[in-house]
């Protein structure tokens, strides 16, 4: 599975080990304006005063929200580093019962304080910020008390993300970063010991993933060791070098022991049949869906909406297949079965793709082309000061999805945004051909629209400028993924692809993927769909290649609910656009809609709708 957003949002659970840069909350208040300090540390020395336009109730709430965030950083250095607060870089939470007890007490205490705030006394922006904070704290409580992934998901025990961030982010001179890394590395053996002790009944799938990712963690440790030879490390003393080398060796030994222990555990679980099922079940799934998606619809209702949308898409694709039949199939008779007919056309078109060795290079070349289209068609303002860098996915991040955006948060908006793409070097010829056919000439363009321009990359650049710090920090995955899916539709509506039926057919296939994601996720985790049923849904009914379908089956075993975010967010955005078009009439401008929509950060679509409704 290639297309996947690597969320730059702070993990909803304080336990979650954030792997990539998170959308962050500067210390200034939402209405006052803010900026990262000149030294790049992310620290601030004072809190700015609330805007004079804010009500007294809003100002009190803003101060409370600010105090909560600062307390959160102190509680959870992992979340702090993910958010760009590198003054916490030398600390590491040990994932044991004592830490989790502190986190639960923290969530409950702050939840009580925010529940005491009278929402009716707040203005629209503050009121919706309050809603986000309440959702975040309730989600944290749910993760600690009900989901309890620390008992069954060893893949969450992984130190690589923050180590890589600290090493590769120029927030301070290299010797200072190496000192922080040394302090953090001293705690790595205890970290993995606690992770192992916390496991009760792991799943086979997450245990295997943790084993597979261990070499990537080791590669990050190797990169830290190599940094000692960098000319910029000259300020690092001989004694400090020796200490860091010893701590690296201990950390490496801890990771190797972790992998060996998991390998033994995996064999035992397979032999005994005592592994936990990766399926969440209806009760946990419904609650997680509510916290993560924040939709007006329940999980079951969204599943039914997806089934209806699927039928509409298939009807459209059936017509496009008729239009393209002669061109692609010559005089071959049309099958009576619509899946066979649509599949035959898609199969023929899919032979048009880049060479295996040009895969990453072609993605890199398409980004500036998409940016020029956005500007020339006046769809959005592009920020040339925030360039996107296409790179091969770091080894420790591989294993779940093959492409995704890794973006900085508002604490360090000057840092690079990466478009991580996993090359096809390690695939067999058959696997590579399957992937290339899936990401053929047309769909590769749609992938880049989704992941980069005007999708995730563009949205996150705008989100980092949002005046609502709460919304920038505790963003909504359905809005983020929904915008990327909406971006695909918006580009084709603007004429991208010359309105060719081939492009519209492949777009429809891609859009069908988003719809099918929701059907698949709910069917697997709630309805008990089997692997054979899932592969039939993905391959025969959604026209995905075998490799793509098998990767999606792997992903649905390792994740839950996130796959539903694409369709739910997209559907809500399309509905909101039409509402705004009707409300504004002749005054409606597509670019204005896009920029206002994105200006509210990564907030749930229903929250953005409320805020947009305040403006005429």
As a whole number, mean pLDDT of residues 483-487 equals 98
| pLDDT one-digit tens code per residue, 558-581 | 999 999 999 999 999 999 999 999
Separation CA 596–CA 407 (nearest Å): 21
Give a yes or no: residue 109 inside a domain.
yes
Q: Are residues 456 and 338 in the same domain?
A: yes
| pLDDT one-digit tens code per residue, 425-469 | 889 999 999 999 999 999 999 999 999 999 999 998 888 888 888
DSSP secondary structure string for all residues of 443-483: HHHHHHHHHTSSSHHHHHHHHTT-S-HHHHHS--HHHHHHH
Here the tokens at position 375 are 């500007």
As a whole number, mean pLDDT of residues 475-486 equals 95
Whole-prediction pTM value? 0.83
Give a yes or no: residue 448 inside a domain.
yes
Give a yes or no: residue 521 inside a domain.
yes
Above pLDDT 70, what percent of the chain?
Answer: 90
Q: Are residues 265 and 315 in the same domain?
A: no
| pLDDT one-digit tens code per residue, 163-182 | 999 998 889 999 999 999 99
Give the strands of the sheet with 403-406, arranged side by side.
Answer: 388-392, 417-421, 403-406
* pLDDT reading at 9 higher than 50: no
Query: Which of 109, 128, 147 represents a domain boundary (last residue)?
Result: 147
Helix (H, G, I), strand (E, B) or coil at 202: coil
Q: Are residues 212 and 325 in the same domain?
A: no
Q: Are residues 312 and 203 in the same domain?
A: no
Q: Is the peptide bond before 454 cis (omega within 30 degrees of 0)?
A: yes
Q: What is the largest CA-CA distance in the chain?
A: 78
Here the tokens at position 169 are 């982010």
Q: Are residues 136 and 205 in the same domain?
A: no
CA-CA-CA-CA dihedral for 447, 450, 454, 458, to nearest 10: -120
* pLDDT reading at 89 higher than 80: yes
* pLDDT at 84 (0 to 100): 82
* pLDDT at 203 (0 to 100): 98
Q: Are residues 70 and 117 in the same domain?
A: yes
Give a yes or no: residue 162 inside a domain.
yes
Q: Are residues 209 and 299 in the same domain?
A: no
Here the tokens at position 354 are 């880049």
Give a yes or no: residue 277 inside a domain.
no
Give the H/E segment covering residue 591: helix 590-599
* pLDDT at 408 (0 to 100): 75
Q: Are residues 309 and 369 in the same domain?
A: yes
As a whole number, mean pLDDT of residues 292-310 equals 94
Helix (H, G, I), strand (E, B) or coil at 390: strand
CB crowding 76-115: b at 16 or more within 10 Å, else e: bbbbbbbbbbbbbbbbbbebbeebbeebbebbeebbeebe
Query: Which of 147, 175, 207 represents a domain boundary (last residue)?
Result: 147
Count helices and strands in the chain by DSSP H and E runs:
24, 3
DSSP state of 171: S
Per the DSSP assignment, residues forming a β-bridge with 417 are: 388
Q: Are residues 546 and 405 in the same domain?
A: yes
Q: Are residues 526 and 441 in the same domain?
A: yes
Separation CA 159–CA 163 (nearest Å): 7
Residue 420 φ/ψ, nearest 5 degrees: -85, 125
Smallest Cα–Cα separation from 583: which of 596, 566, 601?
A: 596
Give a yes or no: residue 245 inside a domain.
yes
Q: Are residues 505 and 588 in the same domain?
A: yes
Per the structure, how many domains does the chain have?
3
Give a yes or no: residue 21 inside a domain.
no
Here the tokens at position 280 are 């969440």
**Cβ-based burial of 328 (10 A; exposed 0-12, middle 13-18, buried ≥19):** middle
* pLDDT reading at 13 higher than 50: no
51 pLDDT band, cuts 50/70/90, is: very low
**Cβ-based burial of 422 (10 A; exposed 0-12, middle 13-18, buried ≥19):** buried
Give a yes or no: residue 479 inside a domain.
yes
Strands (E), 117-268: none
**Average pLDDT of every residue of the chain:** 89
Q: Are residues 404 and 538 in the same domain?
A: yes
Residue 610 φ/ψ, nearest 5 degrees: -65, -45
Give me the domain span that covers residue 405.
292-612
* pLDDT reading at 24 higher than 80: no
Strands 403-406, 388-392: pairing kind: unpaired
Query: Which of 92, 120, 147 represents a domain boundary (last residue)?
Result: 147
């Amino acid at each position: 599975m290639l297309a996947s957003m690597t969320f730059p949002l702070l993990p909803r659970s304080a336990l979650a080990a954030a792997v990539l840069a998170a959308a962050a909350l500067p210390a200034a208040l939402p209405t006052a304006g803010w900026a990262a300090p000149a030294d790049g540390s992310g620290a601030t020395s004072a809190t700015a005063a609330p805007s004079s336009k804010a009500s007294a109730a809003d100002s009190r709430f803003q101060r409370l929200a600010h105090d909560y965030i600062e307390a959160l950083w102190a509680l959870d250095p992992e979340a702090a580093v993910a958010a760009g607060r590198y003054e916490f870089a030398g600390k590491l939470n040990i994932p044991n019962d004592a830490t989790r007890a502190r986190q639960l007490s923290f969530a409950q205490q702050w939840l009580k304080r925010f529940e005491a705030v009278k929402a009716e006394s707040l203005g629209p922006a503050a009121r919706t910020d309050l809603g986000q904070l309440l959702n975040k704290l309730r989600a944290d409580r749910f993760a600690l008390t009900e989901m309890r992934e620390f008992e069954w998901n060893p893949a969450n025990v992984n130190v690589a993300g923050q180590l890589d961030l600290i090493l590769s982010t120029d927030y301070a001179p290299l010797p200072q970063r190496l000192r922080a890394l040394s302090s953090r590395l001293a705690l790595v053996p205890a970290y993995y010991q606690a992770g192992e002790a916390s496991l009760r009944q792991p799943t086979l799938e997450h245990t295997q993933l943790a084993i597979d990712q261990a070499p990537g963690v080791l590669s990050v440790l190797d990169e830290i060791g190599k940094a000692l030879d960098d000319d910029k490390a000259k300020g690092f003393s001989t004694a400090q070098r020796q200490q860091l080398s010893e701590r690296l060796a201990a950390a490496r030994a801890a990771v190797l022991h972790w992998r060996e222990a998991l390998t033994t555990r995996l064999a035992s679980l397979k032999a005994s049949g005592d592994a936990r099922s990766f399926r969440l079940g209806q009760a946990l799934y419904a609650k997680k869906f509510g916290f993560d998606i924040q939709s007006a619809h329940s999980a079951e209702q969204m599943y039914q909406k997806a089934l209806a949308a699927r039928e509409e898409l298939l009807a459209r694709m059936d017509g496009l297949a008729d239009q393209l039949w002669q061109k692609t199939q010559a005089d071959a008779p049309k099958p009576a079965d619509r899946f066979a007919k649509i599949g035959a056309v898609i199969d023929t078109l899919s032979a048009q793709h880049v060479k295996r060795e040009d895969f990453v290079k072609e993605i890199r070349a398409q980004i500036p082309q998409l940016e020029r289209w956005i500007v020339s068609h006046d769809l959005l303002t592009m920020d040339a000061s925030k360039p996107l860098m296409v790179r091969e996915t770091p080894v420790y991040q591989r294993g779940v999805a093959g492409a995704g955006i890794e973006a900085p948060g508002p604490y360090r908006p000057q840092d690079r945004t990466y478009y991580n793409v996993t090359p096809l070097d390690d695939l067999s010829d058959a696997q590579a051909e399957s992937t290339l056919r899936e990401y053929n000439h047309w769909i590769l363009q749609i992938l880049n629209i989704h992941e980069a321009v005007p999708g995730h990359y563009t949205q996150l650049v705008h989100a980092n400028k949002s005046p609502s710090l709460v919304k920038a920090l505790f963003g909504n995955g359905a809005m983020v993924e929904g915008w990327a899916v909406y971006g695909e539709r918006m580009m084709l509506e603007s004429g991208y692809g010359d309105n060719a039926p081939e492009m519209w057919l492949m777009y429809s296939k891609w859009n069908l993927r988003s719809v099918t994601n929701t059907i698949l996720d709910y069917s697997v985790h709630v309805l008990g769909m089997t692997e054979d049923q899932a592969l039939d849904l993905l391959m025969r009914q959604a026209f995905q290649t075998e490799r793509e379908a098998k990767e999606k089956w792997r992903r649905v075993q390792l994740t839950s609910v996130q796959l539903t975010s694409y369709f739910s967010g997209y559907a809500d955005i399309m509905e909101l656009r039409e509402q705004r078009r009707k409300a504004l009439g002749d005054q409606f401008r597509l670019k204005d809609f896009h920029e206002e929509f994105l200006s509210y950060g990564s907030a749930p679509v229903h929250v953005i709708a409320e805020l947009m409704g305040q403006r005429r």
